[in-house]
Amino acid sequence: MKHIFLFILTGAILTCNAHIFTGLEFRSKDYNKILHFNNLAEKYLNNNQTDSALYFYEQSYLLAKENNLHEEMCFTLKQAGIICEINGNYSKSLEYLFKADEIAEENNLTELKASILINIGIVYFNLQKPDEAINNYNQALEISKITTDTILMVKALNNLGNAYMTLLLDWNKSENYFQRSIELAEKVGFDDAVMVGLNNLCQIYMNSNRNELASETAIKMLEHYPENPYIYYNLANLYNQNKEIIKAIEFYQKALALASIEPELKQVLLKDLSQIESENGNFEKSLNYYQEYSILRDSLHSLEQTKYILELETRYQTLKKEKEIAELKNDSLKAKRINNLYFFSIIILLLITVFLIFTINYRKTLTKHKISKLENEKTIIATNAALEGEEKERERIARELHDGLGGLLSAAKLNLENNEPNDKIKDTIGISITELKRISNALLPETLLKMGLANAICSFSKAFSGYTNLKIECNTYGSDNRYNSVFELSVYRITQEIINNAIKHSKCTSITIEIIQDASRLFISIADDGIGFDHDSQKNKKGMGIQNIKKRVEVYSGRVEFNNREPHGTEIIIEFTNTNDNLIKL
């Protein structure tokens, strides 16, 4: 038997919000917004748009936390953990679930705690850690016994059976758990759990060569669930295992006829039919099945890519709409403030006018004195402005030299330390001199002027990678936009500074740059495989490099993130939106 379909009963992902939020409207003025966020998350989850679902559960959690609603906080964290588990992000899933478990424990949310423990067990199951998975399943089982929650008890028993069957290959224990799960599920009419338990029992019997029991179990499933393709698939595997090829093919075909809404199962069935027909000498049929299998496999892959693209677009549009609404509200508030300002300004002007009428004679006597004073003040203001301008120009030139020339000189230093050939060192120094001339003469990279921001960054990376042992990969996505020249130069220099910092401090061997451009934003990710650093430490917070990057990004209303990568390395994300004039396309 080549393929095994395991069924794990999870905590309810699509739990009806009304059950969780009973009476919430009496406790929180934000009830409608929390409910709205959860409904949106559920909608996106039903459409397999997990990123958007996760975003709205996180927003719901923040509102619940703000209002000190522990049950709702616990629920949304659990849902977020389940979504991360679905996406294969197990470390983030455990982070959410552990936090939810902590809140449930502190606030005696017993039923939610049992459900959370089951989902923690599922994550450990996926991580191939049987002891941790079984421990969490057992805790959930004990809680469900105390609360007499039969549904949760069935789920815990079934998942214990799966852990012993799949991870420990202990057929006896797993069989016992599945039988207890089926018995309880039949008592409360939990039909899906009955089918899951019987299917898993059938797998045990086949794996332990108890084909007669496997056949009896599959036939029992067939009597109760005649339209379930997995049952026919199990019977087909049994007949194939017993070398009853004709019957095996018959049941494979029956399963295939019922698997129209199960594309993954259909794909497996087509591949198995192709193999069994080939082994039986029916090469034409085998070829036909394989061709159909290949088409389905390619279409599923294309579908996954399309779903991912649509998911990204939906998320961007959702965030854009929310930002537009916030801006409209802000504009309305600004308009109100401006109207108030006009009103008070008129009153003040009237008062000033009246005052001037009564004081005009006195002001005449002070005219000469005030003129002299104003001239002195103007001189001081002009002097300060000139000094400030010179200081800013010095700072700008220092940044250009630091960002542009610093990286090349770092490369020369690396070549010297690595005992590279003299020609290579000379080449690097020559490039450094060329770059110094470029900075001194124009302070504007030629590649940036001609090729645009994304191409200029990739060109710099390619050139840098060419004359050092460091591998730099640069990928661009979306449209090739051009922006305000001052903005392009600033972003180019910021990127250079980040790469220079990685080379000097991270001890990395490779750097990956991702650039995404579309009508609404510019997104740059720079990741290295170095030793990483603690961004939250006081030393790093006050460092010139980090503060310099932050300030320069903030000038254009952008955002910057410093993230540690697993298992090691650093990722820095820079993002700008087109709400700032500096981002308008040329």
DSSP string spanning 1-18? Answer: --------PPS-TT--HH
CATH number of the structural domain spanning residue 159: 1.25.40.10
What burial class does residue 533 get, using C-beta atoms within 10 Å of its C-beta: 0-12 exposed, 13-18 middle, 19+ buried?
middle
Whether 466 has a pLDDT exceeding 70, the answer reads: no
Whether 45 has a pLDDT exceeding 80, the answer reads: yes
User: Is 89 within a domain?
Assistant: yes
Does residue 474 or residue 321 have the better pLDDT?
474
What's the one-letter identity of residue 195?
A: M
523 DSSP β-pair partners: 516, 575
Choice among 100-114, 221-235, 403-417 with the minimum mean pLDDT: 403-417
Q: What is the pLDDT of residues 169-195, one digit of tens each?
A: 888 998 899 999 989 988 988 888 888
Buried b (16+ CB within 10 A) or exposed e, 323-338: eeeeeeeeeeeeeeee
Q: How many residues does the chain have?
A: 586
Q: What is the pLDDT of residue 98?
A: 94
Query: Where in the sequence is the domain holding 513, given as residue range(s)?
Result: 376-583
Average of per-residue pLDDT across 107-116 = 90
Query: Would strands 510-517 and 521-528 be described as parallel, antiparallel, or unpaired?
Result: antiparallel
User: Is 468 within a domain?
Assistant: yes
Closest to 75 in 3D by CA, of 96, 94, 49: 96
Q: Which two tokens stand for residue 374?
A: 């104003």
User: Is 176 within a domain?
Assistant: yes
User: Is 71 within a domain?
Assistant: yes
CA distance 168 to 128: 10
Does residue 146 or residue 378 have the better pLDDT?
146
Q: What is the pLDDT of residues 351-380, one digit of tens each?
A: 776 666 766 666 666 666 665 665 555 444
560 DSSP β-pair partners: 574
User: Is 252 within a domain?
Assistant: no
pTM of the model: 0.46
Most confident of 190-194, 395-399, 544-548: 190-194
Choice among 1-10, 127-136, 521-530 with the minimum mean pLDDT: 1-10
CA distance 409 to 221: 73
Q: What is the pLDDT of residue 94?
A: 93
End-to-end CA distance of the chain: 62
Q: Are 562 and 518 in contact (CB under 8 A)?
A: no
Q: Three-state SS for 397?
A: helix
CATH number of the structural domain spanning residue 412: 3.30.565.10
511 DSSP β-pair partners: 472, 528
CA distance 6 to 10: 13
User: Is 116 within a domain?
Assistant: yes
User: Is 307 within a domain?
Assistant: no
Q: What is the pLDDT of residue 3?
A: 43
Whether 111 has a pLDDT exceeding 70, the answer reads: yes
Residue ending a domain, choose from 190, 224, 253 = 190
Buried b (16+ CB within 10 A) or exposed e, 55-86: bbbbbbbebbeebebbbbbbbbbbbbbbbbbb
Q: What is the mean pLDDT of the chain?
A: 76
Query: Would strands 471-478 and 510-517 be described as parallel, antiparallel, or unpaired?
Result: parallel
Average of per-residue pLDDT across 293-320 = 58
Residue ending a domain, choose from 167, 190, 213 = 190
Does residue 384 or residue 569 have the better pLDDT?
569
Q: What is the pLDDT of residue 75?
A: 93
Residue ending a domain, choose from 151, 171, 190 = 190
Q: Three-state SS for 528?
A: strand
Q: What is the largest CA-CA distance in the chain?
A: 120
Report the number of distinct structural domains present in the chain. Answer: 2
Q: Which two tokens stand for residue 585?
A: 């396309």
Average of per-residue pLDDT across 72-91 = 91
User: Is 340 within a domain?
Assistant: no
Does residue 476 or residue 15 have the better pLDDT?
476
